[in-house]
Structure 1
């Protein structure tokens, strides 16, 4: 018996659950792939930003001061960007809710 015939014989509920599961697996896989690409981009930017900081503040890259400075600068910038992103998403959600 072929695969299509087997599927037709399954109860509707099982077919529906199977389809939902397949969609969720695809969504998750796409999310994981996007996260992996984000990590690659983040590592590239990490090196670029560290080089820019070293260029403008020429101190020994292996010193504790240099590492702390880099960590503080990156923390401040990323917190600011995160706050702006969250605010943007919330505003978008509120706007979409009002349009409904």
Structure 2
């Protein structure tokens, strides 16, 4: 049940960040360059997703190591 609630909150947060990142990119890139804007957006979101997944993996490993030492 906790995983379901966490996933729901994560989805809502992702939607909020989606709009924020789009507005940030549109502010610095001319509105007529839709493809470039979408490409930069995709790269930024991918980078953030990989970074979060990496650190969550490290955190999970640290927790498992701590449990094994007990």
Q: Bin the TM-score by the shorter chain.
A: 0.7 to 0.9
Cα pair distance change 1:50/1:81, threshold 3 Å = same
Over aligned residues, Cα RMSD in angstroms? Answer: 2.0
Structure 1: segments with no counterpart, 5+ residues? 1-26
Task: State the TM-score, normalizing by the size of structure 2.
Answer: 0.77
Residue 3 of structure 2, aligned match among 18, 31, 39 = 31
Number of aligned positions between the proteins: 70
Higher relative contact order (CA 8 A, sep 6+): 2
Larger radius of gyration: 1
Structure 2: segments with no counterpart, 5+ residues? none
Task: State the TM-score, normalizing by the size of structure 1.
Answer: 0.58
Structure 1 runs of 4+ off > 3 angstroms? Answer: none
